[in-house]
Amino acid sequence: MKSYDRLFIDGRWVAPVHNGSFDTIDPSSEQVLAKVAAATAEDVDLAVQAARKAFDAGPWPRMRGAERAAVLRRIGKGIRDRLHELAEIEVRDNGKPLPEALWDLGDAAGCFEFYAGLAETLDDNAEQPVALSDDRFTSVVRKEPIGVAGAIIPWNFPMLMAAWKVAPALAAGCTMVLKPSELTPLTALELAGIAAADLPPGVLNIVTGFGKDAGAPLSEHPGIDKLAFTGSVPTGSRIMQAAARDIKNVSLELGGKSPFIVFDDSDLDAAVEWIMFGIFWNQGEVCSATSRVLVKRGIYARLIERLEEETRKITIGNGLDDGVLLGPIVSKGQYDKVREAVERGKQEGARLVTGGGRPAHLDTGYFMEPVVFADVPEDSWIWREEIFGPVVCVRPFDTEDEAVRTANDSRFGLAAAVMSRDDARCERVARALRAGIVWINCSQPTFTEAPWGGYKQSGIGRELGVWGLNNYLETKQITRYGSDKPWGWYIK
Ligand code: NAI
Ligand code: MG
């Protein structure tokens, strides 16, 4: 493995001020994968200063959108050119199966290409006239980059989460300091390597390190104008508190406990497959995972049976091995958390249908057989809290009203899904669900063009699409007094 012991600050690879480092682990082997630079407040300060200078005096925010677009397209191409190599790094660092990593990396490249397109449209659309009720005045509204953005991202989709923040921020003309998760820092450093040749110094800075040592100083830094965070609710709350001190703009994409309602006219195999995709894909380490499944009583028993049968067939192993569709949990800490949740579910009276043990053929690595819990009590911890692992909780329901009420009875509201052959029912339920993303007859497909984000404690703001670009834009009105007549208030 090559060396990852430098931070990317002001266009250069530099050692951390205190020369700190930490190990990132391959969760399949539990072995050290690489030594990574550990940033502290001093490094974060240097990175923010570099981003500040690049924003206040550098060319990037002043370029035409089309020029920034050309750079974004080259970054997208840089990812595509090394897609396989980067996907393998992602598998080693995070554990996910290679086909998923390839998908993520393709989406990350696509995200840069999509925001390149939006950066181009900024040149013509950056200023729009506003009709005023007083014809002595004319006004234009102008979109301008918000300034220096600080981004803090999680470990479940390392490169993709970086792309979701870096691409729109750069398209808008912002500069950025990005802190990847200490559990999966490698592909963000690779991204810096890809972007380095094309970006003016200081436009993109990557500081690897721990939440407390590097994330907190970034969220508290007065040189930051905007904070963009994806991760857990408690950390999101801390970031919002830090932002409150000097009124930073903040967007948060937090956890979920998303429901999936399956009616009894659904195709059973389609239902089983989408339920599985909704919770076992990426080891269930997905903010929008549909982890609470509500099944109409008439098909409940048969569905649980088919779900058990198919869940037992999933090939578990090292994500680089052929045919593997479930890798290890990302870290020892997360593995323990998921195992504790499974124990808790048993104690709470949920029926463990399958899974929860270590697969017989794997004696190292943070592996777990995927879990199906049935008859999960509505007031149980496992029904209400985010587990963030391959654990699905299923309950029966009798009426549509009951299903919608149970689905909405959560402090989260990121995503939801509904399945039925009755289109009118799907459309009706989709509108009744309190969530930022609703899937009909599927679960999880995500498109760069469409808004992504949650209701309630699942967050604030939307990423992706034009909404994602607006996260990094300020709105300015420029209003002109154009009348020949004097104002005539004091001086008549
Ligand atoms: P986390 O929310 O603590 O970590 C996410 C990012 O925030 C990481 O880059 C971390 O270094 C940083 N961070 C941590 N503390 C910080 C602080 N005080 N100030 C600034 N940045 C800080 O999530 P963690 O610990 O990795 O996982 C804990 C749980 O969070 C998981 O079990 C899961 O339930 C949930 N989670 C949800 C995610 C989502 O996408 N909704 C993603 C990752 C975790
Ligand atoms: Mg790792």
Same domain, 263 and 245: no
Ion ligand 2, residues whose Cβ is below 5 A away:
24-25, 93, 183
Residue 96 domain-assigned (yes or no): yes
Number of domains forming the structure of the chain: 2
Residue 349: inside a domain:
yes
pLDDT at 1: 67
* Ligand 1 neighbour 289 (Cβ under 6 A): no
Which residue in the list 111, 174, 287, 426 is annotated as catalytic? 287
Domain assignment present for residue 445? The answer is no
**Tens place of pLDDT for every residue, the chain, 492 residues?**
678 999 999 999 999 999 999 999 999 999 999 999 999 999 999 999 999 999 999 999 999 999 999 999 999 999 999 999 999 999 999 999 999 999 999 999 999 999 999 999 998 888 999 999 999 999 999 999 999 999 999 999 999 999 999 999 999 999 999 999 999 999 999 999 999 999 999 999 999 999 999 999 999 999 999 999 999 999 999 999 999 999 999 999 999 999 999 999 999 999 999 999 999 999 999 999 999 999 999 999 999 999 999 999 999 999 999 999 999 999 999 999 999 999 999 999 999 999 999 999 999 999 999 999 999 999 999 999 999 999 999 999 999 999 999 999 999 999 999 999 999 999 999 999 999 999 999 999 999 999 999 999 999 999 999 999 999 999 999 999 999 999 999 999
Nearest CA to ligand 1 atom 28: 232
What CA–CA distance (Å, rounded) separates 163 from 254? 17
Q: Is 393 a catalytic residue?
A: no
With a threshold of 0.95, does the pTM exceed it? Answer: yes
Residue 387 CB less than 6 A away from ligand 1: no
465 and 413 inside one domain? no
Distance CA 301, CA 391 (A): 18
CB of 288 closer than 6 angstroms to any ligand 1 atom: no
Residue pair 284/387 in contact (Cβ under 8 Å)? The answer is yes
Say yes or no: 80 and 210 in one domain. Answer: yes
452 occurs within a structural domain: no
Name the residue among 116, 65, 136 with its Cα closest to residue 484: 136
Which ligand sits closest to the CA of 38? 1
Is residue 290 domain-shared with residue 206, that is, in the same domain? no
Tracing tokens 């370029």 back to the chain, one arrives at 63
How much distance in Å is there from the Cα of 200 to the middle of ligand 1?
Answer: 30
Whether 241 and 350 map to the same domain: the answer is no
Any domain includes 36: yes
How remote is the CA of residue 476 from the centroid of ligand 1, in Å?
34
For ligand 2, the distance from its centroid to the CA atom of residue 277, given in whole angstroms, is: 23
Q: Which CATH number does the domain housing residue 473 bear?
A: 3.40.605.10
**Residue 448: inside a domain:** no
HEC-encoded secondary structure of the chain = CCCECCEEECCEEECCCCCCEEEEEECCCCEEEEEEECCCHHHHHHHHHHHHHHHHCCCHHHCCHHHHHHHHHHHHHHHHHCHHHHHHHHHHHHCCCHHHHHHHHHHHHHHHHHHHHHHHHHHHHCEEEECCCCCCEEEEEEEEECCEEEEECCCCCHHHHHHHHHHHHHHHCCEEEEECCCCCCHHHHHHHHHHHCCCCCCCEEECCCCHHHHHHHHHHCCCCCEEEEECCHHHHHHHHHHHHHCCCEEEEECCCCCEEEECCCCCHHHHHHHHHHHHHHHHHCCCCCCCEEEEEHHHHHHHHHHHHHHHHCCCECCCCCCCCCECCCCCHHHHHHHHHHHHHHHHCCCEEEECCCCCCCCCCCCCCCCEEEECCCCCCHHHHCCCCCCEEEEEEECCHHHHHHHHHCCCEECEEEEECCCHHHHHHHHHHCCCCEEEECCCCCCCCCCCECCEECCEECCECHHHHHHCCEEEEEEEEECCCCCCCCCCC
Same domain flag for 72 and 220: yes
In angstroms, the Cα distances linking 481 to 202, 394, 484 are 39, 63, 9
Residue 483 covered by a domain = no
Residues 367 and 324 in one domain: yes
CATH code of the domain covering residue 267: 3.40.309.10
User: Do 30 and 168 belong to one domain?
Assistant: yes
Identify whether residues 94 and 157 lie together within a single domain: yes
Query: Do 271 and 245 sit in the same domain of this protein?
Result: no
Which numbered atom of ligand 1 lies nearest the CA of 256? Answer: 41
> How many angstroms separate the alpha carbon of residue 154 from the centre of ligand 1?
6
Which amino acid, one-letter code, is at 361? H
Q: Using CB atoms within 10 A of its CB, is residue 275 exposed (0-12), middle (13-18) or buried (19+)?
A: buried
Q: Is 238 in the pocket of ligand 1 (CB under 6 A)?
A: yes
Whether residue 9 has its Cβ less than 6 Å from ligand 1 = no
Rounded to an integer, what distance in angstroms lies between the CA atom of residue 63 and that of residue 173?
8
Amino acid 126: pLDDT: 83
In a domain, 106, yes or no: yes
CB of 380 closer than 8 Å to CB of 345: yes
Range of the domain at 219: 7-254+458-477
Judgement on whether residues 247 and 344 belong to the same structural domain of the protein = no
Query: Do 375 and 466 share a domain, yes or no?
Result: no
